Chain A
Amino acid sequence: MHNGTRERRAYVLFGAVMLLFGILTVRLYLLQIADWEQYRIQSENNTMQPVPTEASRGLVRDRNGTILVDNRPSYTIPVVPPRLLSSAIGEAREALIARLSQIVGLSNAKIEEKLNSKNRLFYEPVKLKLDVGFGTVSIVEENRYDLPGVEIQVEARRGYPTFLGDHPIAPHILGYVGLIDANQYPQMKSLGYRYDDQIGKRGIERLKETQMRGQEGVKYIEVNARGREVGGFPDKTLPPIPGEDIKLTLDWRLQQAAEQAFSDTLKGSLIAIDPSTGEVLAMVSQPRFHPRSIRDITAWRALQSDPAKPLLNRSMQGEYPPASVFKMITAIAALELGILEADEYRFDPCEGEFAFGDRIFRCHKTGGCGELNLRGALVHSCDVFFYHLGREVGIENWSRYASLFGFGQPTNIDIAADGEAHGLVPDRVYYEKRKGKWFEGNMLNLSIGQGELLATPLQVARYNAALASGQLLNPHIFLDTPTKSTPLPISATTLETIRSIMHDVVARPNGTGRHAQLSEISVAGKTGTAQNSHGDDHAWFVAFAPAENPRIAVTVLVENGGGGSTVAAPIAKKILKTFFEIYGTETVPNLVAAQKMPAPLQATPR
């Protein structure tokens, strides 16, 4: 041993212990003797109470900076349970709760449940009711003397400045916020959520939750025994960090025009894409819902059980047979494979039907279309011509070309995490597995876009944009998602031919797409009328304009709407018209231009 005897070392160590105990003694002396008066007053009269200060949630803006979702003040009635119940036991407690229930309009049981919530820290306030009206606020204010611990708090709720009254725009994309689920809470707790926090539940609110949320701050207030605020501790305040704003590629003017073009009696989807970038300019799914409905249980249940499925985002979650808008695939395959020339009269004249084996396949024109080349067959959308053509193209080639345009695969749009359907491009193997064997007659249906073939409106929109630009793009809705494009392995001549035919579909006086004609701009398009076993036909229309240098590609689907030519084409026309009214001959403003827009309005302070 090098440092003396055990006794000496014991003195040193015990001396250290005495020093530590001395520190504690001095500290206790300071707290309990020197500053006793101050702490006594604090404990008798006033309580220091931490009040979380909400971080303002990030706003949602369109491509030009216009605010689509903001924050508005609303009144919440919070209560600190131990303070409310401290003086009330037994009957007094029941009376107090009955009174509270009368004021805020919740059942006694519900109030008990909230007061006894287990997830809360002891002193933490419970939000009794959100979004109460002025009436309730004034009653609470009058009764606050008898209701210790019951407070009135101004909180933010989401506001939608671009909505026209009860007509929401793009609710499926914007999504909504709601109270955190009880079973989701344990995981979220470690991320700083409290059990009665709002959280993004769907759409952008959910997908961008981490960016938009911001970070809660805290301030300390001094409250007297009655729960009245009598002072504060500004030096202890920790300010909240506001959430980030999210910018979308949508143009709200176009979006609004699209929402209005779809009258409330129609169901379906509309998607407008910039074919050079894949940016989604407008995306509608009808019927809609109001994002605020989630706050009202009855309204929400009604939405959930509505047979029209207003909560479904038809644009990316609905699957439909694409019908005649798909005929360009069959046509492109035939042109690329050298099966025929665009102006070649090759098949027997259409007499309205086509016999194959023991079955009759009909054309949509009962009297027949007569003798046609590819151009005429697309302009009139002759089915019999495509029965012939489909048989020559064959299932393998057909499904290969369908895949080239992204059918049967998700588009992986940047909001795909909200749920995206894959659609279905059947091939020979599919029929062998599902139906036992491949039957040539299946090809006839597939070649006109019917049969087992399924696509989402978004897949059709991507295909439409690909026809316009020659690139398969990733459709996206966040302005900062980079554009990814894959050139189509299809010759420029073939694409040029198809575009010129699609131009004729609209431009010719007897073309099926004539209802989409614009006076100054040339439009290219294609109609579709999808038969379905569940009800009336679905109406399709795909279009892009100007035909020679497309700047917008519009896809319209009207569920059970009837004919594409008469129902869907006029809707597309309205959007195209609005687009050119807004942008004239300019190009769509890009990210840089959008950021130069004047600073938008400030968020509502709370």
Chain B
Amino acid sequence: MDISRFVRRDLDIPLISTICLTTLIGITMIYSASYNWDLDTAGQPYEKQITWAVLALIALGITVAIPLKFFYAFAYILYGLSVTLLLLVLELGDRRWFNLGPIHIQPSELAKLALVLVLARYLSVRNRDFTRVRTFVLPFLLVLVPTLLVFKQPDLGTALVFSSVILPLFFWAGVRPVHLFFMVSPGLTLICAFHPWTLAPMVLLLVGLLFFHRPRLLTTIITLLINLTVAVGAPYLWDNKLHDYQKRRILTFLNPDMDRLGAGYQVIQSKVAIGSGGLRGKGFLEGTQTKLAFLPEQHTDFIFSVIGEEFGFVGAMVILGLFLFIIWRAFKIAVQVKSRFASLVAIGLTVILVFHIFVNIGMTTGVMPVTGLPLPFLSYGGSTLVMSMVLVGFLLNINANRHETF
């Protein structure tokens, strides 16, 4: 590959510069978050993050250089490999990661990519009949396997990431919205089952849609059957099968205020930190909430609290703006690229990015449950940074080869 030609003609310079800027902001905020730590061992976190950023950029470069055809051809193999690694890490590793001396490798990061590739390949095949139930059996299975494995680790956040990609990819591949609604209807029914007065409108809506759109008989039957099972089964399970501690765990997840000393306290402190930042913030290194009696995860999952406290609403808006710009570029790439496969990959990866951003910032501001998902490019952590950069590498690669068809 001719590098200078690539940089001149095919590199999405606005995208890569925004990414670098965001990463730099991340390093700066990690410096602030760990500013007055008494560290006797190893390096300061921000120093480590710089090293990781360099490694991540190299990983990005490698991703750009690999032909997309390769990923198309090896999608199922990569998927199989990552599922195997997820199985192995449950059995042999530390459940979440393989501990290789100073480096921890999280196979779930690889699985995110592999899942998008394999779904994109399946959905990009021409003449798939998106009105038949059987078309969707394999994609759901492909999502279910890694989701369950990661859920067992237990890493609920990542499990949710896996399941978040499927509907947007279906939509992008051309599945009709009403069919998507049938797919999510069991989830909606689940919520409604615990709020009896909402169950009737939900049933009416579902039956109405089935009546007006008249999908195939099998689709109708399966949709109704699953919804019925959920509506009756879920409250039964809750009342009769779940132990008190299991219920408490679920309720705590949905409502962190119930958590004794952990998540609930973190969220409250995070809200105070962000809220006290006001319009313009307390200034760099001046955050008091984040410097004093605050949570240890402030440089990882709660990095946004530090930003919110020290740079206020303005700073938070800048971060949201940067992310929005990145997402917009990604959409642009997904629309322009010729290959169906590449377009689906671009959308899938973008969804992963959006999901992380929304869930993480939602968590620090108290609108989403505490899941432990990091904030891409900003949170401290090698695995995450490398994976985020590789993700961008894919986008750049797709952009550079947007005229290719295969």
Contact B275 A36 (CB under 8 A): yes
Q: Residues of B contacting A23 with CB < 8 Å?
A: 358, 362, 367
Binary contact track B279-313/A, C-beta < 8 Å → 1, others 0:
10000000011001111100000000000100011
Q: Which of A24, A44, A218 contacts B320 (CB 8 A)?
A: A24
Contact A43 B331 (CB under 8 A): no
Contact B272 A39 (CB under 8 A): yes
Which are the 9 A-B pairs with shortest beta-carbon distances? A39-B275, A43-B276, A1-B174, A31-B275, A32-B313, A218-B260, A39-B276, A36-B278, A123-B293
Contact B276 A10 (CB under 8 A): no
Q: Indicate the member of B258, B278, B295 with the most A CB atoms within 10 Å.
A: B278
Contact A10 B274 (CB under 8 A): no
Contact B296 A21 (CB under 8 A): no
Binary contact track A89-127/B, C-beta < 8 Å → 1, others 0:
000000000000000000000000000000001111000
A13 within 8 A of B: yes
B334 within 8 A of A: yes
**Selected A-B contacts with CB under 8 Å, 11 pairs:** A2-B174, A6-B335, A21-B320, A28-B320, A32-B313, A39-B272, A39-B276, A43-B276, A48-B268, A86-B292, A122-B293
**A: number of interface residues (CB 8 Å):** 49
Closest Cβ of chain A: how far from B68's Cβ, in Å?
18
Interface positions, chain A 221-251, Cβ under 8 Å from B, are 236, 238
Contact A43 B354 (CB under 8 A): no
Contact A83 B293 (CB under 8 A): yes
Interface positions, chain B 157-204, Cβ under 8 Å from A, are 168, 171-177
B53 within 8 A of A: no
B223 within 8 A of A: no
A14 within 8 A of B: yes
Q: Residues of A contacting B10 with CB < 8 Å?
A: none
Contact A122 B320 (CB under 8 A): no
Closest Cβ of chain A: how far from B144's Cβ, in Å?
23
Closest Cβ of chain B: how far from A120's Cβ, in Å?
10
**Which residue numbers of A lie inside 8 Å of B, CB to CB?**
1-3, 6-7, 9-10, 12-14, 17-18, 20-21, 23-25, 27-29, 31-33, 35-36, 38-40, 42-44, 47-50, 52, 80, 82-83, 86, 121-124, 216-218, 236, 238
Contact A29 B130 (CB under 8 A): no
Binding site of B, secondary structure by majority: helix, strand, loop or mixed?
Answer: helix
Q: Residues of B contacting A43 with CB < 8 Å?
A: 272-273, 275-276, 288-289
Q: Which of B172, B268, B278, B328 contacts A9 (CB 8 A)?
A: B172
| Further pairs besides A43-B273, A82-B292, A122-B293: 10, Cβ < 8 Å | A3-B177, A13-B331, A13-B347, A28-B308, A28-B365, A29-B313, A31-B365, A43-B288, A83-B292, A121-B262
Q: Indicate the member of A25, A43, A50, A122 with the most B CB atoms within 10 Å.
A: A43
**B: number of interface residues (CB 8 Å):** 56
Contact A121 B365 (CB under 8 A): no
B145 within 8 A of A: no
> Complex: how many Å from CA A27 to CA B279?
13
Contact A42 B365 (CB under 8 A): no
Q: Residues of A contacting B264 with CB < 8 Å?
A: 50
Q: Residues of B contacting A121 with CB < 8 Å?
A: 261-262, 295-296
Contact A24 B358 (CB under 8 A): yes
Contact B276 A218 (CB under 8 A): no
Closest Cβ of chain A: how far from B391's Cβ, in Å?
16
Q: Residues of B contacting A82 with CB < 8 Å?
A: 292-293
Contact B265 A50 (CB under 8 A): yes
B228 within 8 A of A: no
Closest to B280 in A: A32
Contact A13 B272 (CB under 8 A): no
Q: Residues of A contacting B316 with CB < 8 Å?
A: 28, 32
Q: Residues of A contacting B320 with CB < 8 Å?
A: 21, 24-25, 28
> Complex: how many Å from CA A13 to CA B324?
13
Q: Given contacts A39-B275, A42-B276, are A33 and B313 in contact (CB under 8 A)? A: yes
Closest Cβ of chain B: how far from A190's Cβ, in Å?
11
Closest to B358 in A: A20
Contact A49 B327 (CB under 8 A): no
**Which residue numbers of B lie inside 8 Å of A, CB to CB?**
130, 168, 171-177, 257-258, 260-262, 264-265, 268-269, 271-279, 288-289, 292-296, 308, 312-313, 316-317, 320, 323-324, 327-328, 331, 334-335, 343, 347, 354, 358, 361-362, 365-367
> Complex: how many Å from CA A21 to CA B360?
12
Q: Residues of B contacting A14 with CB < 8 Å?
A: 327-328, 331
> Complex: how many Å from CA A52 to CA B264?
13
Closest Cβ of chain A: how far from B263's Cβ, in Å?
11
Q: Which of B278, B293, B331 contacts A47 (CB 8 A)?
A: B293
Closest Cβ of chain B: how far from A26's Cβ, in Å?
9
Q: Residues of A contacting B172 with CB < 8 Å?
A: 6, 9, 13
Contact B275 A38 (CB under 8 A): yes
> Complex: how many Å from CA A446 to CA B157?
69
Q: Residues of A contacting B171 with CB < 8 Å?
A: 3, 9, 12-13
Contact A17 B327 (CB under 8 A): yes
Q: Residues of A contacting B173 with CB < 8 Å?
A: 1
Closest Cβ of chain B: how far from A97's Cβ, in Å?
14
Q: Residues of B contacting A48 with CB < 8 Å?
A: 268-269, 272
> Complex: how many Å from CA A95 to CA B211?
79
Contact B293 A44 (CB under 8 A): no
Q: Residues of A contacting B367 with CB < 8 Å?
A: 23-24, 27
Closest to B355 in A: A20
> Complex: how many Å from CA A24 to CA B289?
21
Q: Which of A32, A47, A124 contacts B277 (CB 8 A)?
A: A32
> Complex: how many Å from CA A7 to CA B168?
14
Q: Indicate the member of B289, B292, B354, B367 with the most A CB atoms within 10 Å.
A: B292
Closest to B327 in A: A17
> Complex: how many Å from CA A23 to CA B274?
16
Q: Indicate the member of B130, B168, B260, B323 with the most A CB atoms within 10 Å.
A: B260
Contact B265 A32 (CB under 8 A): no
Contact A32 B279 (CB under 8 A): yes
Closest Cβ of chain B: how far from A111's Cβ, in Å?
15
Q: Residues of B contacting A218 with CB < 8 Å?
A: 260-261
